[in-house]
Amino acid sequence: MVKRNLHTILDGYQKPELQDLGSLLGRELSPRLRKSQLVEQLDLYLRAEPGKWLSHLMERDVRLLRELVKAGPEKIQYQDYAVYPSLVEVSGLVEHDDSDEQFHKLWISREVYDIVAPFVDKVIRKGERSGQFEIERIGLGYLNLYGILPTDVFLDLVSRYYSRHYGENYVTLMQMLHQSPMIKLFRYTDKWGDYVCSPCITDADEIFTLRRQLGTVKMPDFPEDMAREAGAGAPYFTVGLHTREGIALEELYKRLGYTGFELVKAEHDTWIEAQYTAEYNEALFSPLMDSPNGQHLDQESWNTCCRIVADYADSVPKWALSGVSARVAGQLQLDAASWEDNKGDTQSQAPATEEYPHWQMPELSVSEGYPRIGGFPLGFAVPHVAPEDPCPCGSGLRYGHCHGKYLS
């Protein structure tokens, strides 16, 4: 475990990056200052006013910090690779190790722990009471539904929601939006205009290209409860789970053995892949084959399962169609003929019997801790463990006879 202090982390940034980080965290820094002065000022601010800069983080970042604080300083947690990283990871305020392809390690240093631990719970309570987190969820929900919105349209949608639920105190709303890094982090500007994008979009140019190819469509009006659902659970959003198609998808994945976080992740991945596919897309159907019971599907069952996934994919709002579904637009729909014969091809590439990677239980040290397997917060998981290996909880039992019997 590499140990770095806060001053060293900040010193690794260039001047513009230090100014950007300061702006995101509520501390404007003068560009006339030398880099060493910027580092000193930002370092002092982070130490002296944690309650202020924590309140400038998005809900996901603050809750991640709380989980790391609850685990303890320098206690490693294993997190699944999300579509986009958290600000506290990118900034270096949370340490991470990405050497493992399946999971990256996350931990909080003793120095940062001492700074944030007394304040993080208060900031979360304040974010809930003030409506700050609710506004973020609604804003992210609209972005996830439409994909990309002109900034003025995005602000109008959020303002309309705010006025209906909190009154017409737009000064407070603007303060909330200014305080949250949501718009700053997910902004996209080109010669055509100023936009805000879903954080799940990795290439905005690709979406604009698809929109030009498919033609202009009228943006639908989404109800507030749909926006709220689409913006909850960052970074593992899923759209449309309360629709007929979404309910069928969740029931299917449960029958195939998905539970807990693995179910959340399978639904999220399906929604993301549904945004880009018009023909057979192996990634869209991979949760079927990767499921605990997926290898046992016969051809008829496989086709039935694929139909459920395709129905969901055709029903959800498409970014390339500005929020219109493939079914309504009559574009980007999936054709049954594109998957009906693919199950055998995928299966033939898989080994006859699954080979489990053997995860060895390391010796415990003062600086490294190991995650609880039961009751993980959303987004957290454990390394893949073979049934005959020791359970990572430290009980001394085999994994298959301990926590492994509760997980897929």
| Distances, alpha carbon 195 to alpha carbons 36, 185, 369, 408, in Å | 34, 11, 42, 41
Cα 269 to Cα 289: distance, rounded to the nearest angstrom: 13
288, 339 in Cβ contact below 8 A?
no
Of the candidates 122, 152, 186, which is a domain's last residue? 122
Do 17 and 117 have their domain in common? Answer: yes
Running along the chain, 408 residues long, what does each successive block of 10 average in pLDDT? 83 93 94 95 97 96 96 92 90 90 89 97 95 94 97 94 87 86 89 92 91 90 95 95 96 96 95 80 88 86 92 96 95 79 49 39 33 31 52 55 47
Residues in the chain: 408
Residue 219 lies in a domain: yes
Of the candidates 168, 196, 230, which is a domain's last residue? 230
| Distances, alpha carbon 228 to alpha carbons 120, 161, 185, in Å | 24, 11, 20
Do 222 and 257 have their domain in common? Answer: no
pLDDT of the residue at 404: 55
The domain in which residue 248 lies consists of 244-348
Cα 266 to Cα 262: distance, rounded to the nearest angstrom: 6
Unique residue bearing structure tokens 């439409």: 146
Do 171 and 199 have their domain in common? Answer: yes
Tell me the helix, strand and coil percentages in the chain, rounded to 5.
Answer: 50, 5, 40
Residue 149 lies in a domain: yes
Do 98 and 200 have their domain in common? Answer: no
Unique residue bearing structure tokens 């500007």: 189
Enter the DSSP assignment of 317. B
Q: Which two tokens stand for residue 312?
A: 């969901």
Cα 33 to Cα 15: distance, rounded to the nearest angstrom: 9
Residue 14 lies in a domain: yes
E strands in 239-338: none
Do 250 and 213 have their domain in common? Answer: no
Q: Which amino acid is at 357?
A: P
DSSP helix/strand/coil, 117:
coil
Which helix (H) or strand (E) covers residue 279, if one does?
Answer: none
Residue 249 lies in a domain: yes
pLDDT of the residue at 103: 81
pLDDT of the residue at 177: 87
Residue 164 lies in a domain: yes
pLDDT of the residue at 358: 38
Angle at 68 between CA 64 and CA 72, to 5 degrees: 165
Strands 193-197 and 187-190: antiparallel
pLDDT of the residue at 81: 86
Q: What is the pTM of this model?
A: 0.81
Cα 51 to Cα 175: distance, rounded to the nearest angstrom: 16
Do 256 and 314 have their domain in common? Answer: yes
pLDDT of the residue at 376: 28
Do 42 and 94 have their domain in common? Answer: yes
Do 213 and 262 have their domain in common? Answer: no
pLDDT of the residue at 190: 83
Do 78 and 177 have their domain in common? Answer: no
What b/e sequence results for 323-339 when a residue is b if at least 16 CB atoms lie within 10 Å of its CB, and e otherwise? bbbbbebebbebeeeeb
Do 118 and 135 have their domain in common? Answer: no
Strands 95-97 and 103-107: antiparallel
Do 190 and 260 have their domain in common? Answer: no
Residue 354 lies in a domain: no
| Distances, alpha carbon 33 to alpha carbons 30, 36, 44, in Å | 6, 8, 15
Phi/psi at 343 (nearest 5 deg)?
-65, -45
- Across the chain, how many H-helices and E-strands are there? 20, 6
Do 186 and 259 have their domain in common? Answer: no
DSSP code per residue over 352-408: SSPPPP----PPP-SS-----STTPPTTB------TTSBPTTSSSSBGGGTGGGG--
Domain count, the chain: 3
How many CB atoms within 10 Å of residue 150? 14
Residue 183 lies in a domain: yes
Residue 362 lies in a domain: no
Unique residue bearing structure tokens 């202090």: 5
Of the candidates 72, 91, 122, which is a domain's last residue? 122
